[in-house]
Structures are given as structure tokens and as C-alpha cells.
Amino acid sequence: MEFTKKEQSFLDEYKKISHYMEASKLIAWDLRTKAPRKGIKQRSETLSYLSERLHQLQTSDRMKEFIDELRLSENPYIRRSIELVQREYDFHHKIPVEEFKAFVQFTSESESVWQEAKEKDDYSMFQPYLEKIVDYNILFADYWGYEGHIYNAHLKHYEPGMTVDTLDGVFPKLQKDLSRLIEQVKASSFKPQIDQITVQFPKEKQEAFALHVLDQMGYDFEAGRLDETVHPFAIGINPQDVRVTTNYDELDFRTAVFGTIHEGGHALYEQGFDPKLYGLPVCSATSMGIHESQSLFWENFIGRSKAFWNTNYSTFLTYAPESFKNLTPKEFYRAINEVKPSFIRIEADEMTYALHIMLRYEIEKGLLNGDLNVKDLPGIWNEKMKDYLGTEPSTAREGVLQDIHWAGGDFGYFPSYALGYMYGAQFKHTLEKEVNIEQAIEQNELKKIKEWLNKHIHKHGSMKEPLDLLKDVTGEGLNHQYLVEYLTNKYSDIYGISLS
């Protein structure tokens, strides 16, 4: 791709930003996987310094000059890149650099405090940190400015084009449909038996199988790696270094196996960017919702499917404990797809998963608009768990402390999970018109599915806005009914009833 002299100067300047971002991401990965506890404070200060330099580069007069001069570039890749850089400029320029630097350092420390608080099941350790993080998020929203609900100020950074009005329109409909299906499933007497799959399963055997599945998916191990962490995540250091992490529970292999497939889906997205985007701001995911659509697509529509386990069960048994050999593939399939409200989002079944997202979304809105107080969250959390899922955590570890996102300051992120689930179901519906998904899985041709996703979603990076990409791929806007239809069809079979 050829560039004008001014465009090349812009890309050279952006390369400096990329270098700082790469170093910051590598430190963030290290903090959450390998860093010794005593080194966290110094590492957090280093990350804070890098964020300050990033802030300066992203809000410099030179960057503003590029934005003004190249916004009408004839090159569509440069023009779109400038749009994205303008967003970052506005995002950072409106926050005083010292405050942003302090925020990054504080959240780095907050993540380690959250981890310790979760281990000790002590919300009081984390409460003062969360109070300050909420204050930061309210302050930043005021700096940025917003229309309508204060939550919109944060939501737009993760899901451009999405608003509280839209979410408040679709979420109640989805909640109503899910609650109806869940009640019907509860009434079924034909329930899966999971006793034989919640047995001792050595971590090293789980890891070996997880690596096998990542390879099947087409994950490029020369451009990534699998590591262990408290809270699983994937992180793109650069397009040719996209790392996956997982967490192992030796009494429930589902945590690691499906967690790895989920994070692998994220990684395939970033490994699938068109190489001609490398070095450009558009070499990035278009939104967190689209990102989540890819992880949930692989975890649920592929990893939890009947076809996947019909094909892979015999291989799985070479890693699994002897007791698994007493289960038929059908019994195993039904067991891993049990619908049972859980306390932990990342361990939730397909039917109840989105309810966890809506719960936290309501809490986040309440914290930002002043309707809720941080000190009251353990009780509020438990009340909403009863309302949404009919269950109540007995510990803060299972409840309000379960996720790392608040510790990292990520308000506005959570709706992306439910949006991604709905996007993913729409993508699946469209994919099925061109590729026989079940046949591809049964013939061990998962890469055929990956290639379709590469072509229609991954390769574009952030050249398209998320809702535009959805419309281009599926021919329509957001439609939650595809997710409801998928769940209805699948669980009618599993529970031996006709769901409606």
C-alpha cells in the first residue's frame, strides 16, 4: 500500500504509540500471569510511566495536526485510521495527564488488591479501591461529556454506536425470553447427570487437551501461547503475538476447557487481521461486542455442540480420568450443557449467561448515576442474583468479587458480553447458509469455519463500525431472536421437552 509523504509521517508517529502500547500490554500480561507479588508496585509505576508517554503522544499538537490534515485523505485506510485516532485524542485530551497517570497506576495496584481480596473472601479490602475507581469514572464521564445517561460516556468506548436507550430496549426482551425458557427447563424431569464429570482431573491433562483443541481451531502457536491466570483473558501484544490464558479447576474441567476455547476465539480474531492493516490504527478489533461474538461463537456454538463431542470424545477420553469412560457421548454432551444457575459468570451455562451481564449492567448504571453506593454492593449483588437467577452467593468471592473488570476500571465493558452473544448467534445463522457447520465439525474441518470468520469479520479489523459490520454480514441490525431460537432448539433436545 502506497502512502503520501504526510500519511507516512503520520504512520511513523503512530508507530511510537504502537511501541508504548506493546510494552504496556506485555507488562499487563506479566502482572496477571507471572509477576512475583513483591514486584507489583514497581511494575505498576512502570506501567503508569508508559501510560503517561502514551497520553502525551496521543494528545500532542503534532497528532492534532495529522488529524486536521488527513481526515479527508483519499486513502480509505488512512481516513478510517484518522477517525480512530481522533477518538483516542478526544478520549485522552479531555483528561489531565496527571489524573490519567494516577488512574492507570491506581488500577494496576487495584487489580492485585482485588486478587488478594478474592483469595481471602474479604470485600472490605477492595471496597476503598472500588469507591475511588467509581469516582474516577464519574469524573472522566464529566470530562468527556455525554448525551442522555452518564453510562453512555463509557459505553461508547467499548461499543461505538451503542446507547443505554438501545440496551434498555433489548435487554428486558432477552431477559423475558430467557426466564421463560429457564422455567420450562426447570420443570423437566429429564435432567442431565453431572456427578461423573465433576471428579478429580489433573491440571496437566486438562492443559494437554486444551492445547489440542486450540490447534484444531487453527490457533497459531508461533504467534501466541497458553498460560495460567486467576481470571482468564486473551491479549494481543501485536497481531503476531496474541496470547491466551486459562484457569484450572481440578474438580471441574469445564472451567479450563471452555475457558480456553473462549479465549482462543478472541485470539483467532486478532490473529486474523489482514496483514495489510499491520502498522495502522485500524489493525484492531472494531468493538468489544464483536470481540465477544467470536469468543462466544467458538465456546458455545462449536465447543459445546453435539457434533464437536461426537467427533472429539474418544480423543478427550485419552486425557480424562477413567470414570469418564462410563459415559456415552450423549450423556457427556447433556452433562456439559446442564442448565443450572451458577454464581460465577465465566462458569455460567448458555441459558443463564446473559442474565449475569444484565445484572452487572444495572449495578454499573446505578453506581455511576449515584443511585447505588459501593459499600452496599455485597447485599445489592445478592438481591439481584436472587431476582435474576434465583440463587444467592454465600461469599463475596462467589458474588461481588468474582470479576476483575471493576478492579481494572472497566465500566461500560460488561454489556459487550451479552451483545457479543447476540451478534454471534446472528453470525452463526448467516454462516449456516454457506457452510454446513455440523459437517465441518464432524469432519475435523474447524478451519473451514475459521476461514469464513476470517473473510467476513476478522480481516476487516476496525475498518467498519460494529453495527455496520453486523449489517454487512447478516443483512440486518441487532436481533436477539436468533439467540433465543438457538437456545430453544438446542435445549429442547437436551431436556427432552418442546420449549416455546
C-alpha separations of 259 from 9, 87, 303, 422 in Å: 42, 32, 10, 19
Quote helix, strand, coil % in the chain, to nearest 5: 65, 5, 30
CB 164 within 8 A of CB 152: yes
User: How far is residue 185's CA from residue 73's CA, in Å, rounded to a whole number?
Assistant: 56
Residue 131 among the catalytic residues: no
Cell of 395: 461469599
Residue 284 C-alpha cell reads as: 484492531
Catalytic residue of the set 88, 263, 299, 362: 263
Which residue type is seen at 76? P
Give CA separation, 405 vs 57, 108, 123, 312, 360, in Å.
26, 12, 15, 34, 11
Q: What is the DSSP letter of 226?
A: E
Through-space distance between the first and last CA atoms of the chain, rounded to whole angstroms: 53
Known binder of ligand: residue 154? no
Query: According to the annotation, is 362 in a ligand binding site?
Result: no
Report the alpha-carbon distance of residue 34 to residue 242 in Å, rounded: 16
Q: Copy the grid coordinates of residue 380.
A: 445489592
Question: Is 331 part of any known ligand binding site?
Answer: no
Residue 325, burial from CB neighbour count under 10 angstroms (0-12, 13-18, 19+): exposed
Closest CA to 231 of 405, 381, 356, 47: 405
What is d(CA 109, CA 389) in angstroms, rounded to the nearest whole number?
32
Q: How far is CA 368 from the centre of its chain?
A: 22
Please tell me the distance from the alpha carbon of residue 225 to that of residue 222, in angstroms, as a whole number.
8
* Feature table: binding site for Zn(2+): 262, 266, 292
* Feature table: binding site: 262, 266, 292
Catalytic residue numbers read 263
